[in-house]
Amino acid sequence: MAKENKKTKNTQYLTIKEEREIAKSNRKIMKQFERAKNRKNVDESEFTTQMHDPRNVIEIDNLHTYFYTDVGTTKAVNGVSFKIPEGKIVGVVGESGCGKSVTSLSVMQLVQGPVGQIVDGSIRYTTSEGKCYDIAKMPRDEMRRIRGKEIAMIFQEPMTSLNPVFKIGDQLDEALAIFEPKMSKNEVKARSIEMLEMVGIADQEKIYHNYPHELSGGMRQRVMIAMALICNPRLIIADEPTTALDVTIQAQILELLLEVKNKINGSIMLITHDLGVIAGMADYVVVMYAGKIVEAGDIHDIFKNPKHPYTVGLMRSLPSLSHVVTGSRLYSIPGQVPSPVNLPDNCYFCNRCEYSFDICMEQYPPDYYFEDNHRAACFLYDEKYKDLDLIKPELPRNLTDDSESIMARKIPQGRVVLESETDGFGG
Amino acid sequence: MSNNQVPETMLNNDAILYSTEMNKDNLDRNVQNNSNDYLVQVKNLKKYFPAGLKGTTRQYVKAVDDVSFNIPKGTTMGLVGESGCGKTTVGRTMLRLYSMTGGEVYFDGQNINKLSRSALRKLRPRMQMIFQDPYSSLSPRMPVGEIIGEAVREHNIVPKAELNEYVAKAMNDCGLPYQYARRYPHEFSGGQRQRICIARAVALQPDFIVCDEPVSALDVSIQAQIINLLQDLQNEFGYTYLFISHDLSVVEYISDTIGVMYLGSMVEFGDKKKLFAKPMHPYTQALLSAVPVPDPDFEMQRVILEGDIPSPVNPPSGCKFRTRCQYATEECAKSCPKFIEYESQHEVACFLYPQE
């Protein structure tokens, strides 16, 4: 077997020569982008734009974020557009590696450089002073004024996102010290403690002087939320805020996020792979697959009337719904997500899709619009192919009707009446 | 739940609490217990880990404290609970990967704690484990065929000449093409790695597999593939599973019976349908109500638990859940509630229910 391998060239691997060539051209491209980002004293007009709709906090338009790796260009975010209206929660769902996190990092301009670069597109954001900036074009120095103050982020893992060598209090004070240089030390401390109180931490004075390792996961996540909220941001990006936590703690944190959002009247971009969390929190949903948005819409549109086969597949593969739908066997989407290097020209989902037909193999579908902002990128909804009588994916029946499913069940609280008691014995 | 205790208490108190019919049902079950229907029986299992420095007063982390349950042949038992409640320790101690501090584990009638080294080694292929994280439980230096074949060769499951064929079959059963046998784990995605882990366990023709959070590191769509694979294998070969997970919807889907653990002890055990329809322990109720429901119209009636799980080094006196329980009374602090079977296949340890 080893001999055969030598003769036929293995297309899976690159030769060292090929890899060097890629690396060389990558360096050229990356240098250009880095130079543009590192410029100083740039005129403001260069990155000032106009919002399309003033009611939105942020508008992401045709965003492309690529990673120039030695094995090829990874198109992590490949033409993503959506907007977040003021005071709303937008949920971004998708499998790992679909570009959810990279989208959020692009908004913060925190993509790991020089390998990762925002290549194309615009991210329009209006500051609290009323100026509208394009974050994608902003130089690094200017971005500092927005990051942390106007847009704040709650990171994925509370266990690793706090600095282990600084006290909780020092880490909380840091942001205020930068953005509010006029505040005295005591004022800063008072504000930090107030924030700790707001996120439901009892005994704030003690926690203020604790180190991160002394806190549990749920407490650390609370501290992370306090840290994000300390400068009264207008947009909070919550990147899988509850993934590392237990269900009971997750319920606490989600409740807290909703409460806090109403208090500061901010918007939230909630990134998660848990459809249950999205259903309970979000107003709008964006479903991503392999760096593109496959479906976006109002929460009810997405959950009650999903259009894209991927969204439907995702819903059907949830264990809490699935056995209602298919009887005994779990529905599973066959195959795997395509590699983000060298993506094909056709629909990225077509080889996993049971509804795919000829055109799906040839080109990537455009967005098709349904009622109110609901859109899906799928050829099934093209008027041109209406005559083909294509079967469209749908959720088999109203899921909530089934009393067997976990969702329709009424969970008793406290003491449950025993069978034996109803018979007249004991009690 | 342990066979010795339950019938006694039942007999003493049937007049007060139980209709005669129910009692008969329990007696029937007891007769069954004595036969070899249970593949695995765990009685009062304890595992303490020493904590703190040597020389000072020794403290112990009571990771598992007095847990008992039985698993009938060919069924799946789910074990749920928060992180740090001792689910994984139960699984590992049952296979004697940890030495147990107290209690007994019977596997197919043999007390595995009393087996000699060589006897235990003979039993090993019959009880296997699928580990938590498919990213760190595969040796990065071994090709997949070697990972799966190593234990097969070691335990002489098949003659040497047939090894490759056998590995190919095992891989095929788990949905991996044999061409992958020469590749290394880093070349695979998470779902495929989990398939390799499953193939490694399945290749030894086990009777009992402990699945320790096999799907929690995977995406929803891949998760469904792996769960289906586990079920197909069970239907085909009749495996018995202990399925450890913190995801209640997955556990509900795959299990026949479910045990709920809190801080090292089991608080509720029961048949899946009974436990989900009528959760009796306040902790189970809170746990069930915290599961996010994928329906925007669903009104959450969450029971939000205050605070965090206490430290297992100094667990609260009496009922361990009392510090977070809204129904806690003074009685709860004084003594531990007994684990009592209130209806067939449904046992709870809580003072809300009569302690007779």
| Residue B11 predicted with pLDDT over 50 | no
Q: Which of B221, B228, B354 sits opposite A314 (nearest CB)?
A: B221
Q: Which pLDDT score is estimated for A295? A: 94
Weakest-pLDDT range from A249-258, A342-351, B19-28, B228-237: B19-28
| Residue B277 predicted with pLDDT over 90 | no
* Contact map slice: A 36-75 vs B, CB within 8 A: none
Residue of B295, B299, B311 to mutate, interface with A, max A Cβ within 10 Å: B295
ipTM > 0.90?
no
* Contact map slice: B 160-199 vs A, CB within 8 A: 182, 189-192
Rg (CA), chain A: 25
Distance from CA of A199 to the nearest CA of B (A): 13
Distance from CA of B119 to the nearest CA of A (A): 39
Percent pLDDT > 70 in chain B is: 89
Q: Which pLDDT score is estimated for A294? A: 94
- Determine the longest span between alpha carbons in chain B, in angstroms: 68
Q: Which of A304, A406, A418 sits opposite B343 (nearest CB)?
A: A418
The Cα–Cα gap between B288 and B270 comes to 14
Q: What is the pLDDT of residues B156-177, one digit of tens each?
A: 999 999 999 999 999 998 988 8
Using pLDDT thresholds of 50, 70 and 90, give the confidence band for residue A396.
low
Percent pLDDT > 90 in chain A is: 32
Task: Encode B279-296: b = buried (16+ Cβ within 10 Å), e = exposed.
Answer: bbbbbbbbbbbbbbbbbb
Q: Does B325 touch chain A (CB under 8 A)?
A: no
Contact between A303 and B295 using a beta-carbon 8 Å cutoff: yes
Mean of pLDDT values over B336-351: 88
Distance from CA of B184 to the nearest CA of A (A): 14
Mean of pLDDT values over B199-218: 91
Q: Which pLDDT score is estimated for B20? A: 39
Q: Which pLDDT score is estimated for B315? A: 86
For B223, residues 6+ apart whose C-beta sits below 8 A from its C-beta are: A317, A319, B215, B250
Nearest CA in chain B to A242: B292
* Contact map slice: A 333-362 vs B, CB within 8 A: 333-334, 336
Using pLDDT thresholds of 50, 70 and 90, give the confidence band for residue A328.
low
SS3 B46: strand
For residues A359 and A379, the answer to whether their CB atoms sit within 8 Å is yes
Q: Which pLDDT score is estimated for A419? A: 65
Residues from chain A contacting residue B246 (CB–CB below 8 Å): 246-247
| ∠ Cα A342 A345 A346 (to 5°) | 120
Q: Which pLDDT score is estimated for A128? A: 83
Torsion angle defined by CA atoms of residues B72, B74, B75 and B79, in that order, rounded to the nearest 10 degrees: 80
Contact between B220 and A275 using a beta-carbon 8 Å cutoff: yes
Distance from CA of B247 to the nearest CA of A (A): 8
DSSP assignments along A29-71, one per residue: HHHHHHHHHH--S--GGGGB---SSTTEEEEEEEEEEEEEETT
Q: Does B292 touch chain A (CB under 8 A)?
A: yes
Mean of pLDDT values over A336-362: 85
Q: Where are the alpha helices (DSSP H) in chain B?
A: 5-17, 20-34, 87-94, 117-123, 144-154, 163-173, 190-202, 220-237, 248-254, 272-277, 282-289, 330-334
Nearest CA in chain A to B296: A279
pTM value is 0.83
Distance from CA of A96 to the nearest CA of B (A): 7
For A424, residues 6+ apart whose C-beta sits below 8 A from its C-beta are: none
| Residue B82 predicted with pLDDT over 60 | yes
* Mean confidence (pLDDT) of chain B: 84
Q: What is the pLDDT of residues A186-219, one digit of tens each?
A: 999 999 999 898 888 888 899 999 999 888 888 8
